[in-house]
Structure 1
Amino acid sequence: AQWPPAGAEPVDADRVARLYTDLAGAGYRYGPSFQGLRAAWTLGGTVYAEVALPDGLRADAGRFGLHPALLDAALHATAFRDREGDVPALLPFAYRGVELHAGGASMLRVCVAPDGDDAISVQLADATGAPVASVRSLVSRPVDPGRLAAAPVADRVFLDGWAEIPAAADRPAVGPAPVSTVEDVRSRADSGHGRAALLLDVEAGDVREATGHVLAILREFLAQPALEGTRLVVRTNGAVATERPDPVQAAVWGLVGSAQAENPGRIVLVDSDGSLDAPSLPSLPDTDEAQLAVRSGRVHRRRLVRAEPAGPFAADPAGTVLITGAGSLGGTVARHLVTAHGVRNVVLAGRRGGA
């Protein structure tokens, strides 16, 4: 709350002003939206800084827990750390102990302190000194910018893929306990349910209705202390690994995937074609796998696979190209399609409609 902190020495204003020019020379090239550092101070090995979103982005701050351009700008304060010798280009490698305390900030007071030899801790506050976010430890690793530029396109583009894994030899005597409502989940928790898994089958229907129903069950399942050692298997039908995914099932798959990211190890997604019965589900191999697809009785796990080199872009001059995301990047893509590929009909679709 005391700002700048007592005893902190201001970094020379000229050095702050040329920060992004210096960073570009070191291999970091930031566009105008990410050039948010305004001032900096040092106290021992700790760096304090002020960062702010540019005027054009401040109206968007409320849409985020922490605006990504603001978080990125906060890390630019590390440029003023007192380090000996040539410092290689570094990229964030591992975040630990991340907490968001308040959302919607458009400017930050930043404190970056050393945490061992190769890590820093980060404290972020708003203009009054109230906590916004904190990172207990951020580890960075050196990277050779030249190697990134030289990488062929085929080594940088990946797609979803499904790799087959052998089916388990032994099936359990008892399969997962089925649940279809919030009350079912509460009942399993109250009865001292001791099975390793619960099974939720996703029914066909309206997208909003299906996702709302599954969300309610997910919340109840994760809120029950008695079910902490239990996994929830969510079984969809035709959500993934098919040429024509079912929109309702796919929407549920995406929703549950977000819940998996927030609750590691608690939820398993299985997209089934009906060829594997319910008792087999807990014995699916590699129980650490979070997302599986069953096709003709064979189990596949989700993996990234290298994309095959694509041929040249070709558009039907009489057709229409749809671009989702009508921001500055969408406009750039549209102009490129028109000038370089002869496209005549373009639809830009964005959240802001006519604006």
Structure 2
Amino acid sequence: MTMTPLFLKPVFQDRIWGGTQLRDEFGYDIPSDKTGECWAISAHPNGESEVVNGPYQGKTLRELWNEQRDVFGGLDIPHFPLLTKILDANTDLSVQVHPDDTYALEHEGELGKTECWYIIDAKEGAEMIYGHHASSEEELKDMIKDGRWDDLLRRVPVQKGDFFYVPSGTIHALCEGTLVLETQQSSDTTYRVYDYDRKDDQGHARELHLRQAVEVTTVPHQDAETTPTTSEHQGTKVTTLVKDPQFFTVYRWEVTSETTFAMEAPFLLVSVLEGKGSITTNEGTWSFNKADHFVLPTGIKEYKINGMAECIVSHI
């Protein structure tokens, strides 16, 4: 049983709304000046992270999940359940909605998509679309058909350090000038509602999915209430951002000195947003830096984190 943290090589995705913040802020070698997504911890076939250290070096996270399930606690579920991304919204994302598991498995053959966002940075006056003002499905259809977007879409201000929980069925969109860490179910199913009549590089309007979007949208909109709680654990301030027993728990760690943790989940996903430090297990010590992403596998029963760093940590 490995007691080695699994450091991962991210996969980058060009997007019509992407920019250069993944390079400018995190130093990644991005493929273009329209790089919108860093799939940092991913076993999804549309973007598989690769292990870059230890006995499983060179394997993708999906291969490791399929071939060495004991590394992740031997869970009896078909697919690696979570996906961590960093998103650079250089311009507005399309207005969209994701299905729940039942709808997605029936119509798309994969999991639905409940997600959450930690705002790494945001320009002054930044906002996001979160929810809608339709009171019934008929009103939702009419407002979409008539293009009454200003009346339909609910806009909320965002700033650095904010956190939003986005259950399936929530109409949403990140808007210009936000840099976000997203924790989500491992799914790539998105139904576009509105895309500002934009054209792609070939001059084509991007596909909308209005029938599916109406079918899966929660009407009327319901805010997902989360109440973050903070505790001090030795030298680390731990903020529990969301704890949903069905999908995931997400924490923010602010590390200031050596802290010992017991592993209380089958495995942990860790993304380093600021600073640097080290992690020690019975098998050795590994350094980490801003922009690193790693998985702590089942074999690690206890570990020590040391340094000055901000991390987002999640588990099922």
TM-score by length of 2: 0.25
Larger radius of gyration: 1
The structure in which a higher percent of residues are helix is 1
The structure in which a higher percent of residues are strand is 2
TM-score by length of 1: 0.23
